[in-house]
A = this chain, B = another copy of it.
Amino acid sequence: MDNSNSLKSASIPADNAPSSERPLTMAQLAKHVGVSASAVSVVLSNTNSRIKVSETTRQRILEAARELNYRPNVVARSLRKQHTNIIGFYKSYGEMISIEYPFASTLVRGILAGCREHKKDLLLYGQVEMSGDNAPSLEMLNGQLDGLVLYASEPNALTQRLVESNLPVVTVADEITGLPCVTVDDELGSRLLVRYLAEKGYRRILYWFDPNQFSSSLVKRQSSYLKEAAHYGLKVEVFNECDPMEPALKMIMARKDRPDVISVYCDEEAHFVIQALNALGFQVPKDVAVTGFDGIPGSHPDLTTIRAPWKQVSHTAVSLLAQRSEKRMIPSQTILPVELLIGKTA
C-alpha cells in the first residue's frame, strides 16, 4: 500500500530503528554466568529432565537472564522440539472476521479462549481462493502449526490434502469426511423450533433454505425440520433462497395460502428476510412470523431462534487439538447442545 493518501507523514526515522545487535543467545548467557548451555536450558525451560541444577546456580542463571533481558528464541526451540504451540485457524468460505458476519468472529473468540487455556498461540489465515492446485498459503506451513481448526463447508483439494497430511485438524460446524468434527446439535434445534411453532398454532410453514450451501450443518437443520414437522402433521414448503429476495417474497406473500411463519436457516438471513418483509409492508410477527438459527449473542436481539454455543464449539476444538498433541485419542464427533430462544418474531 502506498501512503500517498496520507494527509501528513513525518519522515523522521522511526525511533525504534533497526538495531544491528542481535538478541542475546543462550550460549552467550551461559558463558556470561560461567555455566554450560545445558544448565541454562534446563533452568529456563524447566523441563522434566532428570538432570538437576543446584539451587545457587539456578538463581545465578535466573538473575542473569533477567538482568540481560534474555528471551529464548522460540523458533529454535520449536525446531528442536518439533512443535510450535501455534494453532491455526482457516476458513474456506464467507467473510473473514466481519461485523456483518459475526459468526466467524465468534468462532475466533472461542479459539482465542481455547488457546489461552492451553497456552497456545493463534495463527490466523485469511480466506484462500480454492484455485485448482495452486498452493494456498496453508501449504507453506509445514512445521509451523501444532494443529488446525478448520471451518469449511465442503470437501475440496485443500481439505483432501489435510485429511492425508499428518497435521492434526479439527473441523468446526461442518463435517468433512475423515476429519474429527465439533459442532452443535442442529437436529435438536430444528425439533425445538418445530415443536414450539406447532404448539403456538402455526400451520403454514415456509422453510427458507440457501441452495448455495453444501454445509452439512445446514442440511441437517433442514431435514430434521421437515421430519419433525411431518411428525406434527405440519405442512412445510421449502423455498430455496434467491437473489434478490424481495420479488420472490412478494409473490409468496401475495398467495392466498401464504405462510404464517417463515423459518430461515440462519439468523443473518432471517434478518434480511425481516427487512425485506418490512420493506414490502408486512409486519413481523403480526402478518407473518420469522425464526432464525444460531443465536449469536447481540446480533439480532429480538429474533426467535435457536441459541447454539458456537464459541464453545471452537473452544472445544482447540481443547481437542491440545489433547491430540499429547497423543491422546479424541472423539471423531462432538455435538454440543442448543436451546430455544424465544424472541419477538414468532
A interface, CB within 8 angstroms of B: 1, 3, 5-16, 18-19, 21-23, 69, 71-76, 78-79, 82, 84, 86, 96-100, 102, 105-106, 108-109, 112-117, 119, 121-126, 137, 139-144, 161-166, 168-169, 178-180, 185, 188, 296-299, 312, 315-316, 319, 324, 327, 329-337
Most buried by B among A3, A188, A316, A333: A3
Q: How far is the CB of A267 from chain B (nearest CB, A)?
A: 12
* Pairs A-B, 10 closest by C-beta atoms: A71-B142, A14-B180, A73-B143, A99-B102, A1-B319, A74-B144, A75-B143, A19-B166, A15-B178, A8-B335
Q: How many copies does the complex hold?
A: 2
In-complex Cβ contact of A15 among B74, B332, B335 (8 A): B332
Alpha-carbon distance between A13 and B9 when the two chains are bound, in angstroms = 57
CB < 8 Å neighbour of A142 from B18, B73, B179, B334: B73
Cα A142 to Cα B44 in complex, Å, equals: 14
Q: Which residues of B contact A319 (CB under 8 A)?
A: 1, 3
Q: How far is the CA of A163 from the CA of B122 in the complex (A)?
A: 24
Residues of B near A3 (CB, < 8 A) are 316, 319, 331, 334
A14's partner among B1, B109, B185, B329 (CB-CB below 8 A) is B329
How near does chain B come to A285, taking the closest CB pair, in angstroms?
A: 22
Known: A86-B123, A113-B126. 18 other contacts (CB 8 A): A3-B334, A8-B333, A8-B335, A9-B334, A10-B333, A15-B332, A16-B169, A19-B166, A22-B166, A23-B166, A69-B161, A71-B139, A74-B144, A75-B144, A99-B102, A116-B126, A121-B125, A122-B123
Report B-chain residues with C-beta under 8 Å of the C-beta of A9. 331, 333-335
Q: For A331, what are the chain B residues with a Cβ–Cβ distance below 8 Å?
A: 3, 9-12, 14
Q: Which residues of B contact A99 (CB under 8 A)?
A: 99, 102, 105-106, 296-299
Chain B residues with Cβ below 8 Å from A18 are: 166, 168, 324, 327
Interface centre among A117, A139, A143, A337 (most CB of B within 10 A): A143
**Chain B nearest CB, measured from A283 CB (Å):** 20
Would A1 and B76 be within 8 Å (CB), given that A97-B97, A334-B9, A337-B7 are in contact? no
19 residue pairs bridging A and B, Cβ less than 8 Å apart: A6-B334, A7-B336, A9-B335, A11-B331, A13-B332, A14-B324, A14-B329, A14-B331, A15-B163, A16-B162, A16-B168, A16-B178, A97-B105, A97-B108, A97-B112, A99-B105, A112-B124, A116-B126, A122-B125
